[in-house]
Structure 1
Amino acid sequence: MENSSIPRKELETFATESYKIPLFDVQHYPVDSSYFIIQNRETYPVKDYISPHRRKFYKIFHMTSGTGILTVGLHRYEMGRNEIGFLHPDEIVSWQTTSKETGGHFCLIHPDFFGRDAEHVLQWLKQFPYFLPDKAVVQLQEDQSAAINGYFATMLREAQSDSDDSKQAIMLQLQLLLLESQRAGKNRIQTEVQESYGHIYKFLSLLESSFQVRDRNALTKLKTAAEFADELHVHPNYLNSLVKKHTGKTVRDHIQERLLHEAKSLLVHTDWGINEISDGLGFSGQAAFTSFFKKKENISPLAFRKTISNARIS
């Protein structure tokens, strides 16, 4: 292992210096999620979480009350009332609530939601300047915040309706929301994340980069906890203790959860055979993959695929 400036601290020292926060819930988005999800933060409060891998959704959330700490990549924002955040699918993010109050809305938008008839809105979303980790939060004036809250409320109402033109109404409100935010154009001052969170972020980034199964010829090389620690130039025990302290799970747990999530995604979103998925994920054979999946889900990979397929039809 190469020498590094990153210290190999004793556990007592680490526990003293580590920033004091509650455990982050490791949030995996369901592989069969709807393409557009919107909720009121008062009736659907956001718990402390860290998203351990890239998502397929753009996320926008607006705060009308309460406070919290948002981390996007290695950028940290202390958020409060009359602020709006923009989260790109490619960024690892975390959230910590720091108040009992929680008001506003949030929405998750999958690129496939737009379709051909709203391609121009998708392009605007992709090019929107505030989906960058160092510009992810915008401060709003009182009237701007009230207007954006109204756009969210209308989108929520339309999403719950069965009108034929509800999608069109949502698109109009979304464009108004983006325009109002762009006019506000003031970013929150960010602060640097703590070193300990930086190590967690780098581990999750490495973990994510290990799962780039895009076609049948792309094979995943499963790494051990020791191999991840070696790439980060830290002792395996230090990395494991750090990750366990802030997420409640070991490095090995995260590796297996990410492996399971990728397996589910391939079962749902591709027509690959079980043996092809097994090979792509680096298992020694189909039997080993099936055994791993059944141990985690109490169902075989093939039965899982059929269950999700039947649920979509019904």
Structure 2
Amino acid sequence: MANEIPGVNMEALRLQGFKVHELPSIVNIPAAHGRRDFYKMGLVSGEMAIDYGGQILELNGTVLFFVNPKVPRSVVRRSMNATGYACIFTESFMPAIVKRSPLWNTGDSPMIRLNSEQAAFMTGIFQKMLAVHHSDYSLKADLIKNCIELIIHEALSIQPPAYTLQNGAARLTHLFMDLLERQFPIEHAAEPLKLRTAQNFADILTVHVNYLNRSVKETTGKPTSVHIAERVAAEAKALLKHSDWSIAEIAYALGFNYPTYFNNYFKRLTGATPNSFRKV
């Protein structure tokens, strides 16, 4: 199946909420494209090329990686001697971490390069997680969570977030982007998207909508409405491909009162109708 992960018992992962494993020694392992239900962090040593959101990332040496399930990715090339560990978990397993940590920002590189001392320290943590995962310890989930948090804090101390909030426009844009991203992924069809327009976001951020639009355009080069439309379209694609919701349910979940409005919106942005996109 396209959504299976090599070497991972998917049913156990869904039940427990997490999985720690050693990377299998296989060349050209395909990774699932566009997974939206599992976050992934890992430690890899060796040579590998990854297509991450359409950008080819060359891995050489030892790196930590943090994979956002909203970003399509696949392994393009992997050497025979690439080794390492991975921890996969659901958002419900670590809800606070994935919401607030910049390491899973969709626009940033998912890799942090390590020196030999940092690599040895991280290897010890992953080996500890692997041992705990295979143990009978009754509180293993709590210990795994502590290890994940430790890795995240160490990673941030090695490589702080790429963004720098130097002025009011940049700060406001960061708040807008964070607020936009927090709405996703949509988990329940009965809970529709609430923030759909620039005015909605301006109201929450207590600024004039013109100031918000000007700040976002100045900082990112794209209007607020474009960021919103692109993110809604990305979520629509994910729901069409990775859920069994009807198109009417998806339309309602994304804040459209009528499926026809959603059909027209989706076709304008993607060139395809929701139904035709789902069938591809």
Normalised to the residue count of structure 1, the TM-score between the two structures is 0.45
- Which fold has the larger relative contact order, with Cα–Cα distance below 8 Å and residues 6 or more apart in sequence? 1
* Greater Cα radius of gyration, structure 1 or 2: 1
